Amino acid sequence: MLSGKNILLGITGGIAAYKTTFLVRLLIKAGAHVKVILTESASSFVSPLTLATLSKNPVLTSFVKEENNTTDWNNHVELGLWADLMLIAPATANTLSKMANGACDNLLLATYLSAKCKVFFAPAMDLDMYKHPSTKASLEKLQSFGNSMIPATSGELASGLHGEGRMAEPEAILKFIENYLSEGLPLTGKKVLITAGPTYEPIDPVRFVGNHSSGTMGYELAKAASNLGAEVVLVLGPSHLSIDNSSIELIRVMSADEMFESTHMYYKNSDIVICAAAVADYRPKTVADQKIKKKDKELTIELVKNKDILLSLGEQKENQFLVGFALETENEVENAKVKLKKKNLDAIVLNSLNDSGAGFGGTTNKITFIDKNFQIKPFDLKTKADVASDILNEIIERLHA
């Protein structure tokens, strides 16, 4: 949800400001670009240097900017235009009142009044202040302007009292914004199961049978599905890839048997299933307990067939939209059609190793999308991120048909 988004974080002078170091870190880990505006009083609670280090941007505290013996100004209009969303956390009673009434006596308030983007605010104050009629009026007025309030929670307060007024925790703030952004997206409420990467079939404790798949195509599909509002499970074979996204559950597996078990574990409750993994068709019949020593000129390894994950899913399909991948080198379209029908798929994504830039190991792919009615739609060579978007758009189009 937040990957690539420009987020302007305004921090005001309350004790809850100390939590913003964790908040900035979470936003950065979610892939956002963060700039921080700190009020003068807020700098008493949290260090500008810490926030600048975490956000990877200078922290702004006033209109005037002095650098290298020259004086310049921080342009609040440009800041407001830069942001895809603005978050004010903590929002004190003082700042809330000024926001509600159009007061403008610092850089944060000037930027708020200039912002064209969605504004979120997370109140934080003591119990009596939070319950005061003037604060309630400010909260209601700000929401009537179209701003979104991230409700305060109950707990121990700085005064020693226990009650409502505690700023929402950073994780809850992040989740609130992600949920807001996901509303109305085409895959909101959908569960998407994706397999990706190779499988390694062990020969002995140090050797295996495998392939060159990196898992990047499935990885991009998982990110794209999440950005469209889906709750995603990614079953990933051996890969250097990692995901830090609360909407994506990453299940790491090694062998085809492990991928079979993990995929079936989540299959029944999935709405869309995309099998992009390059699963080994065969595995060694026996696995040596110790490393096989180099003795003879030849080594014979007997292989047995692995379970066909995609076929088994097709046989058990109920309401899932099931998509497979086919990597072909000859008679590509016809072979893909046979696989689509045999495995009871709703669609198949065809790769041809005859197409330059397609297949394993690269950052690009060239696909042909074929649905169960044998409608064939070829695409040009694109980045795998763009290919993932194309695949999901084709699926969404058929879900809503």
The three-point CA angle 366-368-371 to 5° equals 150
Q: What distance separates the 2 farthest-apart alpha carbons in the chain?
A: 88
Spatial separation of the C-alpha atoms in residues 218 and 273, rounded to whole Å? 11
Q: 273 near 235, Cβ under 8 Å?
A: no
Q: Give the single-character DSSP code of 58.
A: P
What pLDDT does 183 receive? 81
What's the CA angle centered on 174, arms 169 and 177, to 5 degrees?
Answer: 125
277 located within any domain: yes
Q: Identify whether 1 is part of a domain.
A: no
Q: Is 166 in the same domain as 237?
A: no
Show which of 149, 182, 215 is a domain's final residue. 182
Do 69 and 88 have their domain in common?
yes
Q: Which domain holds residue 392?
A: 191-399
**312 is a domain residue:** yes
Q: Which residues are registered as beta bridge partners of 322?
A: 273
Residue 375's CB is within 10 A of a number of other CB atoms, namely: 11
302 and 351 in a common domain: yes
Pairing type for strands 33-38 and 153-156 reads unpaired
pLDDT in tens, the chain (401 residues): 787 889 999 999 999 999 999 999 999 988 899 999 999 999 999 999 999 999 999 999 887 766 656 656 778 888 889 999 999 999 999 999 999 999 999 999 999 999 999 999 999 998 889 999 999 999 999 999 999 999 999 887 777 778 888 999 999 999 999 888 888 789 998 999 999 999 999 999 999 999 888 999 999 999 999 989 899 999 999 999 888 777 799 999 999 999 999 999 999 999 999 999 999 999 999 999 999 988 888 889 999 999 999 999 999 999 999 999 998 878 899 999 999 999 999 999 998 777 776 666 678 999 999 999 999 999 999 999 999 999 999 999 999 86
What amino acid occupies position 399?
A: L
Query: What is the per-residue pLDDT for 295?
Result: 82
The CB density around residue 44, as the number of other CB atoms within 10 Å, is 11
Dist. CA 57–CA 74, nearest whole Å:
13
Cβ pair 119, 85 in contact under 8 A: yes
CATH number at residue 77: 3.40.50.1950
> Which residue among 182, 204, 236 closes a domain?
182
d(CA 286, CA 292): 12
Output the pLDDT for position 71: 59
Token pair of 374 as six digits: 């044998």
pLDDT at 161: 75
Closest CA to 14 of 160, 162, 126: 126
Residue 177 falls within a domain, yes or no? yes
Q: Name 305's Cβ contacts closer than 8 Å, sequence gap at least 6.
A: 281, 282
Q: What is the pLDDT of residue 334?
A: 94
On whether residue 282 sits in a domain, the answer given is: yes
Instruction: Report the DSSP beta bridge partners of residue 248.
Output: 232
Q: Is residue 355 part of a domain?
A: yes
Strand extents, DSSP E, 237-338: 248-252, 272-275, 282-284, 303-305, 321-328
**Beta-carbon count within 10 A of 352 CB:** 18
User: Radius of gyration of the chain from Cα atoms?
Assistant: 27
Q: How far is CA 243 from CA 29, 174, 220, 246, 263, in A?
A: 10, 16, 10, 9, 18
**Number of residues that this document lists for the chain:** 401
- Do 195 and 171 reside in the same domain of the chain? no
Q: Which residues of 228-256 are buried (b: 16+ CB within 10 A; e: fewer)?
A: bbbbbbbbbbbbebebebebbebbebbbb
Final residue before a domain boundary, out of 141, 165, 182: 182
Report in angstroms the alpha-carbon separations of 130 from 100, 145, 203: 15, 20, 65
> Does residue 278 sit in the same domain as residue 299?
yes
* Residues 235 and 178 occupy one common structural domain: no
Cα 208 → chain centroid = 32
Alpha helices per DSSP H over 83-232 = 93-101, 107-114, 127-131, 133-144, 170-182, 216-227
Task: Look up residue 211 and give its amino acid.
Answer: N
234 and 109 belong to one structural domain: no
Which residues have a catalytic role annotated?
211
pTM for the model stands at 0.73
Instruction: Tell whether 224 and 172 lie within a shared domain.
Output: no
Asked if the structure places residue 130 within a domain, the reply is yes
